[in-house]
Amino acid sequence: DAGVIQSPRHEVTEMGQEVTLRCKPISGHDYLFWYRQTMMRGLELLIYFNNNVPIDDSGMPEDRFSAKMPNASFSTLKIQPSEPRDSAVYFCASSSGWGQGYGYTFGSGTRLTVV
């Protein structure tokens, strides 16, 4: 099992550019989560999916952020246009279930720097 795979590991982009982060969850996991981590705010849940359907996107900071899950093995988080304050580490996680008894498996993250 290769775990949750995120790409790219690092991304540097200029303000105003579109950024796309990618995630491949563990096969068979029905839930996928996107988190963002900054020094100031710690780890924040942005959005999560169940069976490719977005369930709760209340953590998405602005309309500039969008996430999709076109199939069970792939998800994207897009920022358009990007701003310097979007600089953070973005983590994707997956789980075989949702709720109290389930643990999440996280990817290694994408470190985004917007200059």
Partner 1 sequence: DAKTTQPNSMESNEEEPVHLPCNHSTISGTDYIHWYRQLPSQGPEYVIHGLTSNVNNRMASLAIAEDRKSSTLILHRATLRDAAVYYCILRGRGSQGNLIFGKGTKLSVKP
Answer whether 44's CB lies under 8 Å from 33's CB: no
Q: Is the peptide bond before 70 cis (omega within 30 degrees of 0)?
A: no
Indicate whether 72 belongs to the interface with partner 1 (CB under 8 A): no
Answer whether 11's CB lies under 8 Å from 21's CB: yes
Q: Return the SS3 of 24.
A: strand
Answer whether 107's CB lies under 8 Å from 3's CB: yes
Q: How far is the CB of 114 from partner 1 (least distance, A)?
A: 20
Distance CA 100, CA 80 (A): 34
Residue nearer to partner 1 on the CB measure, 81 or 108: 108
Q: How far is the CB of 15 from partner 1 (least distance, A)?
A: 25
Indicate whether 5 belongs to the interface with partner 1 (CB under 8 A): no
The count of residues interacting with partner 1 (CB under 8 A) is 20
Q: Return the SS3 of 5.
A: strand
| Among positions 34, 49, 65, 91, the unique one binding partner 1 when judged by CB under 8 A | 91
| Among positions 56, 62, 80, 113, the unique one binding partner 1 when judged by CB under 8 A | 56
Chain positions 20 to 39 lying near partner 1, rule: CB under 8 A, are 33
Indicate whether 106 belongs to the interface with partner 1 (CB under 8 A): yes
Classify strands 10-13 and 31-38 as parallel, antiparallel or unpaired.
Answer: unpaired
- Residues that bind partner 1 in the complex, under the rule CB under 8 A: 4, 33, 42-43, 45, 48, 56, 91, 93, 98-101, 103-109
